[in-house]
């Protein structure tokens, strides 16, 4: 802590100071600040007064983001428990990324990055060349973060460059941590909408022999709500799902979640590859045109479980016809996107999907934790 702050503050232990700061932050919730709710956290934008700033050791009278985790069902890997540990490294090399100033139990205080989220500025429209180039430059900067400074990955993590092992780890996670644990509640619905029980085993068997590529830091969740558009460029926020792995996985998740058109996708892939080659990182693009399709297929295949569960859980206890129709459309879209990846002969007609949701709802419609994408 700054010596001036230490002189002003009463003598408190580190734990007592953090506890007092958290109590004051909690009292500010529900006030006049902005609130942004995502799939993983509720983010409260709070203006920090003098006392709270002294407790946290930050500048007073400016806005900060207080992140409160949501109770969630696990559907995506999170290999590093503390986002703050990742940000400590990332912020040394990507200065536009907001720093984490304090970890208060399972909650945290972050710098607030001013600007407009892309999801507000351009919720579903086309992505122009200028923004594509900014995304490509961001992925280059992320790939240049020294991996030896990152927290260690799990013990069973594939070796650097083992692209087959990395993809199969993700497939196994989907089967063992998403599909099977949720069968008790959603198995009947998965079967009724046409998801094969051996979907992940079949996918794994059919997708092998990827080109080896060096592993790098991956954000894995660069969608429109996680991109803050500023006057001097973009800032990508929310790093809790960052992992260390094959760069084509990052490219695929970004392409799917940002919603590029086919033409935009082709252009962005070219810009991404060119940007890496310009900084002598061409090895990260090895096997690009052969293997990108595999990662895109995986993104559609693994997300079908999440999309079906989220559609079902979006139904209120007193769901009416419009709720079921809207949920049926979401399931239909997810199944159509996964049709080729899962080798489906056909997707059930909308009426059958709605009926499956009705049957599930009659048995399981109770309040439940949110689903994380």
CATH number of the domain to which 308 belongs: 3.90.1200.10
Can you give the residue range of the structural domain that contains 260?
117-367
Same structural domain for residues 106 and 189?
no
Tell me: the pLDDT tens digits for 145-197? 999 999 999 999 999 999 999 999 999 999 999 999 999 999 999 999 999 99
Tell me: the pLDDT tens digits for 228-286? 999 889 999 999 999 999 999 999 999 999 999 999 999 999 999 999 999 999 999 99
Higher pLDDT, 75 or 284: 284
- Provide the sign of the torsion angle of the four alpha carbons 23, 29, 31, 32, taken in this order: positive
Same structural domain for residues 190 and 224?
yes
The token duo for 208 is 């092998």
Average pLDDT of the residues in 41-69: 87
Q: What is the DSSP string of 271-302?
A: HHHHHHHHTT-GGGGTTHHHHHHHHHHHHHHH
pLDDT the model gives residue 12 = 55
Residue 15 belongs to some domain of the structure: yes
* Nearest residue to 1 via CA among 101, 93, 95: 101
Residue 373 belongs to some domain of the structure: no
pLDDT the model gives residue 336 = 96
Average pLDDT of the residues in 3-32: 68
- Report whether pLDDT(204) > 90: yes
Average pLDDT of the residues in 210-231: 96
CA atoms within 13 A on the CB side of 300: 21
Tell me: the pLDDT tens digits for 342-363? 999 889 999 999 999 999 999 9
* Nearest residue to 221 via CA among 261, 247, 250: 250
pLDDT the model gives residue 32 = 66
pLDDT the model gives residue 360 = 97
Same structural domain for residues 127 and 95?
no
pLDDT the model gives residue 373 = 46
Residue 372 backbone phi and psi in degrees, to 5: -90, 135
**pLDDT class of 4 with cuts at 50, 70, 90:** very low
Tell me: the pLDDT tens digits for 82-98? 999 999 999 999 999 99
- Report whether pLDDT(9) > 60: no
Query: By the 8 A CB rule, do 195 and 84 touch?
Result: no
Higher pLDDT, 11 or 212: 212
Same structural domain for residues 216 and 359?
yes
Same structural domain for residues 69 and 163?
no
Helix H or strand E segment including 233: strand 233-236
pLDDT the model gives residue 267 = 98
pLDDT the model gives residue 39 = 75
Higher pLDDT, 174 or 4: 174
pLDDT the model gives residue 302 = 96
Same structural domain for residues 24 and 123?
no
CATH number at residue 107: 3.30.200
Instruction: Tally DSSP H helices, then E strands, for the chain.
Output: 14, 12
Residue 372 belongs to some domain of the structure: no
Same structural domain for residues 63 and 144?
no
């Amino acid at each position: 802590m700054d010596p001036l702050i230490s002189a002003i503050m009463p003598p408190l232990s580190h734990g007592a100071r953090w506890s007092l700061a958290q109590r004051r932050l909690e009292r500010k919730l529900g006030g006049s600040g902005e609130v942004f709710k995502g799939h993983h956290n509720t983010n409260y934008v709070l203006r920090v007064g003098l006392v709270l700033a002294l407790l946290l050791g930050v500048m007073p009278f400016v806005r900060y983001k207080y992140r409160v985790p949501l109770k969630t069902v696990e559907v995506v890997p999170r290999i590093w428990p503390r986002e703050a540990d990742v940000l400590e490294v990332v912020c040394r090399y990507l200065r536009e990324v907001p720093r984490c100033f304090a970890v208060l139990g399972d909650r945290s205080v972050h710098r607030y990055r001013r600007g407009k989220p892309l999801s507000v500025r351009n919720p579903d429209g086309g992505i122009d060349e200028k923004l594509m180039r900014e995304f490509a430059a961001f992925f280059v900067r992320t790939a240049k973060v020294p991996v030896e400074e990152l927290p260690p990955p799990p013990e069973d993590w594939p070796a650097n460059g083992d692209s087959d092992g990395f993809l199969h780890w993700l497939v196994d996670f989907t089967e063992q941590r998403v599909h099977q644990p949720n069968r008790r509640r959603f198995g009947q619905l998965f079967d009724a909408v046409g998801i094969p029980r051996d979907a992940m085993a079949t996918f794994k068997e059919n997708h092998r022999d990827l080109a080896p590529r060096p592993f790098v830091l991956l954000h894995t969740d660069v969608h429109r709500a996680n991109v803050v558009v500023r006057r001097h460029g973009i800032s990508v926020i929310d790093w809790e799902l960052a992992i260390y792995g094959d760069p084509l996985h990052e490219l695929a998740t970004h392409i799917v979640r940002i919603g590029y058109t086919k033409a935009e996708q082709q252009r962005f892939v070219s810009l991404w590859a060119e940007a890496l080659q310009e900084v002598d990182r061409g090895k990260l693009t090895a096997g690009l045109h052969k293997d990108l399709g595999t990662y895109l297929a995986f993104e559609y295949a693994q997300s079908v479980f999440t999309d079906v569960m989220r559609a079902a859980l979006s139904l209120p206890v007193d769901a009416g016809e419009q709720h079921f129709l809207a949920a049926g459309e979401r399931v239909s879209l997810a199944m159509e996107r996964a049709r080729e990846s899962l080798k489906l002969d056909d997707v059930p007609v909308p009426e059958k999907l709605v009926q499956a949701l009705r049957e599930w709802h009659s048995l399981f419609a109770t309040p439940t934790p949110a689903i994380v994408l």
